[in-house]
Every structure is written in C-alpha cells, then in structure tokens.
Amino acid sequence: MPHKVRIALDAMGGDHGPSVVVPGAELSLLRHPDIEFVLYGDRAVIEPLLGAHPRLAAAVRLVHTDVAVKMDDKPSQALRYGRWKSSMWLAIDAVKKGEADVAVSAGNTGALMAMAKFNLKTMAGIERPAIAALWPTLKGESIVLDVGATIGADARHLVDLAAMGSAMARVLFDLDRPTVGFLNIGVEEVKGLEEVREAGQILRERPLPHLDYVGFVEGDDIGKGTVDVVVTEGFAGNIALKTAEGTARQIAQYLRNAMSRTWRAKLGYLLARAAFRTLADKMDPRKVNGGVFLGLNGIVIKSHGGTDVEGLAAAIDLGYDMVRYELLAKIGETLRRDGRESQAQGAAS
Amino acid sequence: MPHKVRIALDAMGGDHGPSVVVPGAELSLLRHPDIEFVLYGDRAVIEPLLGAHPRLAAAVRLVHTDVAVKMDDKPSQALRYGRWKSSMWLAIDAVKKGEADVAVSAGNTGALMAMAKFNLKTMAGIERPAIAALWPTLKGESIVLDVGATIGADARHLVDLAAMGSAMARVLFDLDRPTVGFLNIGVEEVKGLEEVREAGQILRERPLPHLDYVGFVEGDDIGKGTVDVVVTEGFAGNIALKTAEGTARQIAQYLRNAMSRTWRAKLGYLLARAAFRTLADKMDPRKVNGGVFLGLNGIVIKSHGGTDVEGLAAAIDLGYDMVRYELLAKIGETLRRDGRESQAQGAAS
C-alpha cells in the first residue's frame, strides 16, 4: 500500500476528550510514522495541546467544530443535533467521503453506531452491523463478536458474523483459515439455541474457504482460546464481555486486599513486584482497547470512553492494522467468494 | 422445624461417584448433625465406603440399585433406561414421595433436570424451571438465575424468576427484601431486550413485597455485587457463568506463571503464601458449589460433576439450608401473595 494510513479522529470523544485523544494519537504515530490524522473538534482546546505535541502537529489536519456528542446522549438525540456537524459525525463522514481510511472515537457507543449506520450504511448482503472485540486468552488473543451492536440473530446473521470475524482474524493474527466457533450452551437436549444449531449446520454443510468451523464453544472456552473467533449475537456477547471484565476487576481487588493484609504479604509483594507487573500487564484492558464496527461500508473503531493515553493509542493502532492489512477487502473477498453460496443456501432452506 | 432434614443422595452421580459422595456426606453431617441421609446406588461399592465412615453410616439408609445415569447420556436416553430405577431417579422420587426433603446429585445436569421436571412437575403458576447459582462477589455473594435450565424467557417468566430468586436470597442471606436486577445491555436506543424492559415495567408498576426491584444491571455488576439477585434467561445466564469461571481460571493461570518465572517472584510467593491461600480460598469454586433447581414441586440440588469432597459437602450444605429455612414455603408465599397479582397483570396486558 503506497499511500499513508489516513485516520479521522473524534477529538472530543471519551470521558477526557482532547487531553487523552491528542497524546494518544502522538503515541500511536510514534509506532506508525505512516499515519496521517484529521482531528475533528474544538480548535480552542486542541490547538494548545498540539503545540505541546509538535511531532503529532506535523501529521495532523485540524477541522474545527463546536458540536460534540455527550457521553450520555441517546443515539436519537445525538443524531438529531449532532448530524452534519458534531466531531463524531465529521470523523465518520471523512470515511464516507474517502478522505480517511478509518474513523476512531472514544465517544458514546450507541451514538457512534447510530451515526455510522446512518452515514456509511451496511455492506451489500449484510443486514445488521456488529461490534467485534479482541479478547486476551491463555493462548494469546481471540476475536469475539457481536459484543453489543444488535440484539438477537438468525442463522444467516450468525454465518455473516462468522465470515466477518474470520476476516478480522486473518488481518490481526495473520492466519489463512482462523478457527471459528459458535457460542452455545450444553444443557438442553438438542444443545442450545435453535438459530445457533442452524448456523452450525450451514457452515458444516457448505464450508467456507477462509474459515475453519469447529463447532460449538461454551463460555469458558473464550478465555482458554479454544478458537480464534467466537461468534454470538449481541445480547449474550455483551453480557459475556462485561461479565469477564467484572470478574477480572473482582479478582484484581481480591489480590490487592490479600497482598496488603500482613507484613509478610507486603514483603512478598515487593519481592515479586516484577511478576505482579507482568500479571497486571496481561490483565491490562488498555492493551486490547478498541471495538471494531463490522458490516458497514467503512471502518469505525470504538475506544472505551474512560481509557487513558495508552488505551487510546491501542485503539488507533487497531484501526491502523485494519486499514494496513485490508479488512474491508478481506471481508469482501469472503462475502463474494463464500457469502453468495451460503446466501443461496439460506434462501433455499 | 422439629424433624430432621432428610436428604436423598444420588451416590453414583459425578465424575467420581461414591468415593466422593460418601465422604462429602460425612463432612456435611459433621456440620449439620440433624441430617438423615438416604443413599441410592450400588451396595457393593457403597457399603465398604460406609464401613470407613462410621459416623455417616449411623445416619444413612442405603437403597441398592444397579442402574446409574452416565455423565454423557442425553436427557432422553437417561429417561428411557433410568426412569423408575436409576440412583438419580430414586433420589428425586424420594422427594416426590415425601420420604426426603431434598435430593442432591452430582450427575449429568440435563438428565437431572429432565427427571426432576418429569417426576416433580413445575409448581402451580410456574411454567418452566430454572437453575440458580451462588456467585461470589466483592460484597459477599449473590444469586444468579437462570444459569441454563431454559433458553429464552418472556416478561412473565422473568418476573417468576425474580420472585423465586428473591425467595432463595431470603433463605440464604437472611434478608427481608433482597435487591433484584434484570441483566441487560446498555447499548441500544431503548436499552436492551424487549422482554427484559417489559418485565422491569411489571415490577416497577406493581412492586412485590418481598423484593426490592432496582432496575437493570450489566454483566460487570454481577461481580461487584450490585444486587442480591441477578435475573436473566438461561442462555445468557449460562454464558455469563461459564465466562466468569473461564476468566477466573485464566487469571489464576497467569498468576501461577508469573509467580514461578524468577527466583525473586518465587521467594515473594513463599513469603506471601498465606495471602495467596486467602486469595485461592476466595476464588475456590468448591465453596459455592451447587445449583438449585427452582420452580418444581420439590428441591433438587445439582453439584458440579467434577467436584471433590469439600465441594460435594458444600452442595449438601446448600440443600440443607434450602430445607431448614423453608425455600418452598417462601417461594409459595411470594407467588401466593404477589404472583397472582402480577399474573392478572400479565393477562390484562
């Protein structure tokens, strides 16, 4: 790819706005000098920050807007007053107009998804968008989707999610045929949700070339890293993601409490400090920050709203990878080569 | 309650059968000398074990059967050959016949639920059973249900789950009005699943006297202990439970790896060993072993199949508490005093 990776940044997004977005962008730029940024937001706040980050300033075009979507706006509210003019809208619109390759925002998820859907529209053949998350596992990382874009999924949508998730795994993990499993439960007679069984049948009967379908997985398989791509509808996926985050925080708290209780524990903690740092690093949610919106005519990355400079840089890095390793082309390839077949299959059944 | 607590035990259930069930029962008996056991299973295996556990032997009646449900049987298979005669069936049947107050089994969940439903039937006014789990939190413990008995739930069933879960919380946590929340996701415009919103509306408009409905909770609220009772349908509930178990095991593995990497870490580990034991204790899944089947005309407790003596004793302890503190009466109270109202409400809407 000869040209630079052009990233549109919603500078006003997130709990901390430009004070995190600007240094986060500079951090990512140091790792990827071939990024060009367009920043959307309040010039009066952003310009002084750019003054303090001269390396970034040299790679940035700043587009002023007064309007910023608030973190607690409802999507419909945000669309009403923020369309055409908010920093969030403008970042997405840059992707739509071909002025940027990817938009990154730490703003409100619902508003970002509503604007992205409204402006970019879903890809041909894809009915509903999804959010894919990177999930640290015992083997490395997996992709889990959908973690909350759309509630409920028929078999057809689950197969689309499998195709899109595997394209993302090819980009991120440099695999030709990522392993894919459908999240299910093993208690009922005929194993779990009907739509999930039906989707499994579609993939078993008509295997897709860029995807190694391995069957059903259960909740505890996610952390084990049993498959590269875990596919589920957005309600269960969001609950799985938040439950795992909650469990990780809970155990970290137990650990802190245990290590500060006695002088022996404190001394042990001091000696093992490097090991605890390794552990904290493993558990660091900032390292895997960034949800990828899939199924739209353009790439949008959602960063956690409360993240810091390191986390925001990770979200930008993720957007960079999606562009550099051609996520959209890979999804298109999967859908062109495979999707029509299974679409025909879906229509026939 | 003047009489003893009579517990029917499926001695053949679980990965280890009588070699765990017999000592587990003795351990629980030491904590609750007012238990009387009926053990169902293979006399040739159980009798020698009872010989080695004389205190238990004095409190046990042994009923021989050759038939045991296997851990990987399908529920329909288990019902076909195991009805009337398997150790699992006989334990449930003792509850049905009023010869025992509760049945405990570490056998296959699907088969146990199928037999319990078939034999005990659902309570008047309850359409589908549920499995409730105890969940360790930062504040103590919460109850989460349904963790996998039934896939999907309409608003009416979610309200039933709230009523049954709060009755269980009254038993276990000695509360008059446990706090209850519906598990939901916060991304979509009108907050999550329609059935969940509708159930929330029912509880807001017609509050139940033994239940403090606080609204929606998200996945990360479970570990925080935001509410005493977290209500969801069985698919999402099972995925939340297994995802949390997987995350806990994953972090424990990270911790073991980190603590064995360098001599400083190893020394630190030795010094802080007591603290690590406290942590391991906090994370010990055996301490909260036991799922409670709710909504049936009788109490059935499901222990993890792979648990050890300590875990099995915890499941028996749980069954003991459910009987001693009158779970069924408390559920009946809630359903009689509250359920009919909301049933009428459901019918009217």
Contacts of A112 (CB under 8 A, 6+ apart): A13, A69, A88, A92, A105, A293, A300, A302
* A326-330, A335-339, B251-255: least confidently modelled range: A335-339
Q: Is residue A270 classed exposed, middle or buried when 0-12, 13-18 and 19+ CB atoms within 10 A define those classes?
A: middle
What is the per-residue pLDDT for A2?
A: 56
* CA B151 distance to own-chain centroid: 17
Q: Is B285 on the interface with A (CB under 8 A)?
A: no
- Going across the sheet that includes B179-183, the strands are B60-64, B35-41, B5-10, B102-105, B299-302, B291-294, B130-136, B141-145, B229-231, B179-183, B212-217
Task: Say what the pLDDT of residue B349 is.
Answer: 36
ipTM: 0.89
Dig out the tokens for A281 from the structure. 């690093």
Give CA–CA dist B301/B88, Å, rounded: 12
Q: State the nearest Cα–Cα gap between B229 and chain A, in angstroms.
A: 15
d(CA B136, CA B289): 11
Window 131-170 of B, Cβ < 8 Å to A: 137-138, 148-149, 151
CB contact A173 to B (< 8 Å): no
Whether the CB-CB separation of B63 and B47 falls below 8 Å is answered with no
Q: Is the model's pLDDT at A349 over the cut of 60?
A: no
pTM of structure = 0.91
Residues B135, B183: Cα–Cα separation, whole Å: 14
Grade residue A64 by pLDDT with cuts at 50, 70 and 90: very high
The C-alpha atoms of residue B228 and residue B102 are separated, in whole angstroms, by 24
**Chain A interface includes B280 (CB < 8 A):** no
Distance CA A315, CA A309 (A): 10
Read off the pLDDT band of A191 (50, 70, 90).
low
Q: Could you report how far apart the first and last alpha carbons of chain A are, in Å?
A: 41
Give the pLDDT of residue A207.
85
Backbone φ, ψ for residue A52 (5° rounding): -85, -5
Structure tokens at A329: 């082309």
B218 interaction partners in chain A (CB closer than 8 Å): 238-239, 242
Q: What is the pLDDT of residue A334?
A: 79
Percent of chain A with pLDDT over 90: 70
pLDDT of B12: 97
Q: What is the pLDDT of residue A342?
A: 44
Instruction: Indicate if the alpha-carbon torsion angle B48, B52, B56, B59 is positive or negative.
Output: positive
Q: Does B241 touch chain A (CB under 8 A)?
A: yes
Per-residue pLDDT band for A348 (boundaries 50, 70, 90) equals very low
Average pLDDT, integer, range A12-25: 96
Q: Which pLDDT score is estimated for B190? A: 57
pLDDT digits over A123-155, tens only?
988 989 999 999 999 999 999 999 999 999 999
β-bridge partners, B141:
B136
| pLDDT at res. B321 | 94
The number of beta carbons lying within 10 Å of the beta carbon of residue B118 is 13
Residues of chain A above pLDDT 70, percent: 94
What pLDDT shows up at residue A289?
A: 82
Q: Is the pLDDT of residue A219 over 60?
A: yes
CB pair distance less than 8 Å for B272 and A255: no
Between A and B, how many CB-CB pairs are < 8 A?
220
At residue B187, the pLDDT reads 46
Question: Are B250 and A137 a contacting pair at CB < 8 A?
Answer: yes
Residues 6+ apart with CB under 8 A from A196: A155, A158, A182, A183, A184, A216
Contact B262 A250 (CB under 8 A): no
Query: What is the predicted pLDDT for the residue at A271?
Result: 85
A290/B7: higher pLDDT? B7
Residue A346's pLDDT band (cuts 50, 70, 90): very low
Closest approach of A68 to chain B, Cα-based (Å): 19
Tell me the average pLDDT across A93-110.
Answer: 96
- First-to-final CA distance of chain B: 41
Residue A341, pLDDT > 70, answer no
Dihedral sign for Cα A123, A128, A134, A135, please: negative
Q: Which of B:67-126 have CB within 8 Å of A?
A: 74-76, 109-110, 113-114
- pLDDT on residue B283: 74
Within an 8 Å CB–CB cutoff, is residue A337 touching chain B?
A: no
SS3 of residue B302 by DSSP = strand
User: Kind and range of the H or E element at A242?
Assistant: helix A234-259
- Stretches where chain B sits below pLDDT 50 are 187-189, 339-349
Query: Does A345 or B198 have the greater pLDDT score?
Result: B198
The predicted pLDDT at position A337 comes to 59
Is A283 an interface residue toward B (CB < 8 Å)?
Answer: yes
- Residue A113 to residues A144, A323, B215, Cα–Cα distance (Å): 18, 19, 25
Rounded CA separation B261/A327 (Å)? 37
Q: Helical H runs in B65-108?
A: 75-82, 87-96
B270 touches chain A (CB under 8 A): yes
Q: Which amino acid is at B211?
A: L
Query: B35 CB contacts (<8 Å, ≥6 apart)?
Result: B4, B5, B6, B7, B28, B29, B59, B316, B320
